[in-house]
């Protein structure tokens, strides 16, 4: 079956303007233009739009989606199975938050009181799911499934006070790291304070702390751009600077040796 822009937009529940934009940027071109100048979409375009919408539901940007769909290695069946897995994870997270809201409503209406642990279940699960989505593969390969699951269990068992402490520590850490980077001295007082705050932050998530593991994860921040981006929020070069500060803090490695 074939569709015009208007018909496909109604079918998919998106605007005609969005379809025209997808054509302009080349992520979804029509099968042909008819004699009246209308864009016409066929079965292949409908399937491609479905894939685009799956990825958009998972918050993947359009540029990345286009690269994925245009890749010669793109496998539709594998992609669909991946979509299903990610959407189930998202549903699990949303279900937790919905139950949390329902319990809160019940409590406010005079029902059973909620424990502090219950109040933050959904948000803690969201934190785990987000970390898994961004870094799960690399972390599991480096430290193993058992250590990751122990870390996740530790997060789920956090009290409200611990959860708040993490957020406060994270904010203070970034402020300290930014100021330390400006000094240009990874051995300086501010840099070492940032390294110690980073250790404390990791200890909320790790089952146990070792200097070797701390140094290992700091090295990962430099070699993996997704980790680097997280720390570059503090200042340009912050990931490398933090790695060098942690080398000095742990006494492992040569802080003057920068990776390219």
- pLDDT for the residue numbered 256: 43
| Per-residue model confidence as pLDDT tens digits over 116-134 | 556 555 555 666 666 666 5
* 72-87 burial: b if 16+ Cβ within 10 Å, else e: eeeeeeeeeeebeebe
Same domain membership, residue 122 and residue 189: no
- pLDDT for the residue numbered 260: 29
Same domain membership, residue 201 and residue 231: yes
In a domain, 81, yes or no: yes
Full domain range(s) for residue 17: 5-70
- pLDDT for the residue numbered 255: 47
Total domains in the chain come to 3
Angle, CA of 217, 244 and 185, to the nearest 5° = 145
Same domain membership, residue 83 and residue 28: no
How big is the chain, counted in residues?
A: 260
Q: Which of 11, 10, 32 is closest to 23 using CA atoms? A: 32
The stretches in the chain having pLDDT less than 70 are 100, 103-104, 107-108, 111-144, 147-148, 155-156, 253-260
Burial of 70 (0-12, 13-18, 19+ CB in 10 A): exposed
- pLDDT for the residue numbered 11: 93
In a domain, 258, yes or no: no
Q: What percent of the chain has pLDDT over 70?
A: 79
Same domain membership, residue 138 and residue 85: yes
- pLDDT for the residue numbered 150: 73
- pLDDT for the residue numbered 173: 95
CATH code of the domain in which 24 resides:
1.10.1660.10
Same domain membership, residue 142 and residue 84: yes
* 138-168 burial: b if 16+ Cβ within 10 Å, else e: ebeeebeeebbeebbeebeebeeeebeebee
Same domain membership, residue 101 and residue 124: yes
Same domain membership, residue 172 and residue 151: no
Predicted TM-score (pTM) of this structure? 0.47
Do 218 and 230 contact (CB within 8 A), yes or no?
Answer: no
């Amino acid at each position: 079956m074939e569709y015009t822009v208007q018909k496909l937009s109604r079918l998919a529940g998106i605007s005609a303007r969005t379809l025209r934009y997808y054509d302009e940027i080349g992520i979804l071109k029509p099968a042909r233009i008819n004699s009246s100048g209308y864009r016409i979409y066929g079965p292949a375009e409908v399937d491609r739009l479905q894939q685009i919408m799956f990825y958009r539901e998972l918050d993947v940007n359009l540029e990345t989606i286009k690269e994925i769909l245009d890749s010669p290695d793109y496998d539709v069946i594998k992609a669909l199975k991946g979509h299903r897995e990610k959407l189930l994870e998202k549903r699990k997270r949303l279900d937790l938050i919905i139950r949390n809201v329902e319990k809160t409503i019940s409590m406010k209406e005079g029902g059973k009181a909620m424990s502090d642990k219950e109040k933050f279940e959904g948000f803690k699960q969201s934190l785990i799911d987000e970390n898994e989505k961004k870094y799960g593969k690399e972390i599991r390969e480096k430290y193993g499934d058992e250590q990751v699951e122990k870390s996740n269990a530790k997060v789920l068992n956090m009290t409200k006070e611990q959860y708040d402490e993490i957020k406060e520590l994270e904010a203070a850490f970034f402020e300290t790291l930014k100021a330390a980077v400006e000094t240009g001295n990874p051995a300086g007082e501010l840099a070492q304070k940032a390294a110690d705050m980073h250790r404390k932050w990791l200890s909320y998530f790790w089952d146990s702390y070792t200097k070797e593991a701390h140094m290992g994860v700091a090295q990962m921040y430099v070699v993996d751009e997704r980790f680097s981006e997280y720390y570059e929020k503090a200042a340009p070069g912050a990931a490398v600077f933090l790695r060098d500060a942690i080398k000095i803090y742990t006494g492992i490695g040569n802080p003057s040796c920068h990776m390219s």
